[in-house]
Amino acid sequence: MMSIHPEARIHPSAVIEEGAVIGAGCEVGPFSVIGPEVVLKDRVVVKSHAVVTGWTEVGEESVIFPFATVGEVPQDLKYKGEKTRLVIGKRCRIREAATLNIGTEGGGGVTRLGDDVLVMTGAHVGHDAQIGNRVILVNHVAIAGHCVLGDDVIVGGLSGVHQFVRIGQGAIIGAVTMVTNDVIPYGLVQAPRGELDGLNLVGLKRRGVERGEITALRAAYQMLAQGEGTFLDRARKLSEETDSAYVREVTEFVLSASDRSFLTPK
């Protein structure tokens, strides 16, 4: 049964399908479509000509802009109509013509965005992707299926991230970059084929990270780039020697299981 809170404002030309749940203070603009399995939490705004469909939950105070398509089936030939989900956190901004797909059974069944995510114009979030909090996907970014992006990641415009790639917390990807391998937390990646070219020092400073921690990260980066042994050997040695929580986050990320190899420091 459809459930529309009495305080919601629905334009007469909008289509709200039977079964949808519309929370208090929501706004649905003209010519938008809300599917039968959609839940809009309180104060969600869906602007004109947007489509929200599939088994999709949109968190409080999020805004979906015109011509966005949210919750459609995956762009995956293996998808056979299984019941899977898209979960969007609080205060997200899904800008014009962005596309976000539900998950697949083989990928865990849920595509998920954290809180305060900005998905800019024309960007795509593929099936089963896991996007952290405060992530920014700039115009026309493509995040392939099964990717994992940590908190505070920024992906520059016109960039693509290959399926199954992990991007660690606080990393930044430059514009027009193709990322085919995992990126360490706080890494800086640029160049057309995605080269790890240092640390996201600007981001660390903006977040108020203490100078001592930044110094420790810089030393760790140099050791990963130039130390003895393999990349994994260096990471193991760092994990045993460091007292820095930030460096430990990097080493734990490197030493955890992954379907993709790592971009290694230059």
Give the separation between CA 31 and CA 11, rounded to whole angstroms.
8
The token pair that represents 101 in the structure block: 């797909």
Q: What DSSP character marks residue 256?
A: S
Residue type (1 letter), 135:
V
- Whether residue 196 contacts residue 266, with contact meaning beta carbons closer than 8 Å, is answered with yes
Residue 39, C-beta contacts closer than 8 angstroms, at least 6 positions apart: 20, 21, 23, 56, 57, 58
Rg (CA), the chain: 20
Q: Which residues pair with 199 in a beta bridge?
A: 187
Catalogue the active-site residues.
127-128, 145
Q: In the block, which residue shows the tokens 């110094």?
A: 215
